Amino acid sequence: MAEYTLDDKGSIAFRITNGVTGSVCKVAQLGATVVSWRGKGGDERLFVSTKSEFTKGKAVRGGIPICWPQFSSYGDFPKHGIARNNLWIMRDVETDASGGSVTATFMLMDDPEVAKHVQGITLEYRVTLDGEDRLITELVARGHRDTPLKTTVCLHTYFAVGDIMQTSVVGLKGAAFSDQVAKEEAEQESEELTFGFECDRIYHNNATETLEIRDAKNKRKFLVSKSPELSDWVVWNLWKEKALQMADMDDDGYSKYVCVEPTRYSQPAVIEAGGEFRCRQTIQVLPM
């Protein structure tokens, strides 16, 4: 089931409910950003800063912003692209009675702001609450233009954690990464990546399909998986000092989230005329 609702700042959002599992998510019209995902018991799984503005032209600070057609500032598009801060429409909702899943499909609205940056691409986003209480988000970009478009992409998920000091990311031991804070290449030595500092890392060309986020304070763990089209993992927490400087982040916001982001960065995707690019993340929450 899906219904219109308002997000926290009074702008339009869509509430999607899975009647079988009891899970509910909320997708803002702004950026088709999934801004809430709760299980049957009401536990919130995504972090959203209370200072998020929810206005066109600005991304939501939290949830799952879609960074497309560019990850970060690496290219000619605005930082993290134009999908996250423009308006989307909900196209339809399908319920798969046998599998117990519900999928809402969103389309990026073709308005002048979008057309100013990229033309001849249809962008579709499918948000599924499946029968096993998983959240699946899939982005599909279809080309109908004469020239191919080179893109990078990132599903920039802010996971809600009880305390960042009791949080770790597991599955990256031995992985090479670009440290965007120290501006150097490094390799992860430990089994668990723990926090206590500004962390901004691109684990490039990393084929690990699933990472585990241990949220010890909430006694739960997230399993986050990426489809093979997403070649990289990004892990980001801005930490104390930068949280104070960031206008749309709560002062203590850094302690309540970790971003683990399935990303396509190392080798940009090329969308040919008549072709498409598809990528997906799947998230599950388990007790710990």
Ligand X SMILES: O=P(O)(O)OC[C@H]1O[C@@H](O)[C@H](O)[C@@H](O)[C@@H]1O
180 binds ligand X (CB under 6 A): yes
Q: What angle do CA 95, 96, 102 make, to 5 degrees?
A: 45
Residue 249 or 285 with smaller CB distance to ligand X: 249
Q: Which of residues 12-71 bind ligand X (CB under 6 A)?
A: 59
Residue 33 or 101 with smaller CB distance to ligand X: 33
Selected range binding ligand X among 37-45, 72-80, 117-125, 168-176, rule: CB under 6 A: 72-80
Residue 86 or 103 with smaller CB distance to ligand X: 86
Residue 2 or 67 with smaller CB distance to ligand X: 67
Least Cα distance to 71 among 178, 222, 184 occurs for 178
11 binds ligand X (CB under 6 A): no
156 binds ligand X (CB under 6 A): yes
* Residues 76, 78: Cα–Cα separation, whole Å: 7
Residue 23 or 237 with smaller CB distance to ligand X: 237
Q: To the nearest whole angstrom, how small is the minimum distance from the Cβ of residue 261 to ligand X?
A: 6
Is the Cβ–Cβ distance between 151 and 141 less than 8 Å? yes
Report, as residue numbers or ranges, the catalytic residues: 156, 261
Q: To the nearest whole angstrom, how small is the minimum distance from the Cβ of residue 236 to ligand X?
A: 4
Residue 130 or 261 with smaller CB distance to ligand X: 261
236 binds ligand X (CB under 6 A): yes
250 binds ligand X (CB under 6 A): no
Residue whose beta carbon is closest to ligand X: 236
Is the Cβ–Cβ distance between 17 and 24 less than 8 Å? yes
Q: What is the dihedral of CA 10, 13, 14, 20, to 10 degrees?
A: -70
* Residues 83, 38: Cα–Cα separation, whole Å: 24
200 binds ligand X (CB under 6 A): yes
Q: What is the DSSP letter of 83?
A: S
234 binds ligand X (CB under 6 A): yes
Among positions 26, 45, 80, 204, the unique one binding ligand X when judged by CB under 6 A: 80
261 binds ligand X (CB under 6 A): yes
Is the Cβ–Cβ distance between 250 and 218 less than 8 Å? no
* Residues 224, 284: Cα–Cα separation, whole Å: 7
Q: To the nearest whole angstrom, how small is the minimum distance from the Cβ of residue 151 to ligand X?
A: 16
260 binds ligand X (CB under 6 A): no
Q: Which of residues 265-284 bind ligand X (CB under 6 A)?
A: none
CA distances from 101 to 1, 43, 126, 216, 267 (A): 10, 19, 12, 29, 33
CA distances from 163 to 160, 195, 233, 252 (A): 9, 10, 22, 10
Name the residues that contact ligand X, by CB under 6 A. Answer: 59, 72, 79-80, 156, 180, 200, 234, 236, 261
